[in-house]
Amino acid sequence: MLIGYMRVSKQDGSQCMDLQYDALILAGVLPERIYKDLGSGRNDDRPGLETCLKALQPGNTLVVWKLDRLGRNLKHLVNTVDNLRQRDIGFKVLSGNGAQIDTTTPNGRLCFGIFATLAEFERELIGERTRAGLAAARARGRKGGRPRKMTVTTLKMAIAAMSDRQSIAADVAKRLGITTTTLYAYVNGDGSLKEAGQALLNQQNQNQ
């Protein structure tokens, strides 16, 4: 099954989708299987693309007019195409620089594999940077890693600390090993409980 996706960068009517639409129809995509977005490719909010990606099933092929209609940047494009490959979903570009990408052909499958290689390379770079960052943090006496989540014990200490008017939220959060955002999600500035904090205490009482 062919699934189409199209996008224009402006929402003021100065651009139209006719060219993309006609190309998708000519390629064999049914009108009811075409998804669209109106807005810049740099915009994270692309509901049409999100719905399109969710609708795709193994064995389907995603068809776009040009490669730049799909990705908001190179990293997003590489990761999106690699995700399609992992889900056994084909990808076809009808025109432009990416027109050689068509997983129904040997050359297209080769291009598809290049995207997988680039995605793996990006993941390795991220892993190396993360490990280097943690090593540097340990060398400076910091353990690194993800901040601790709020527990009942931490919450009670947060209540006591924030009840002191001289307390600074950022310092309290740092001492407790949580972020300031997490602190304020459970406790008000005067140490009183927010709904999430009360729910956490209620949960403990129920488990006792």
Catalytic residues: 9
SS3 120: helix
**Rounded (to 5) percent helix, strand, coil in the chain:** 55, 10, 35
CA dist 171 to 31, 104, 140, 158, 178, Å?
A: 57, 58, 19, 11, 10
What residues does 91 pair with on adjacent strands? 62
How is residue 94 annotated by DSSP?
A: -
Q: Are 72 and 48 in contact (CB under 8 A)?
A: no
Q: How many whole angstroms separate alpha carbon 81 and alpha carbon 37?
A: 18
2 membership: H or E segment, kind and range: strand 2-8
Which residue has tokens 């992992």?
86
Q: Are 93 and 24 in contact (CB under 8 A)?
A: no
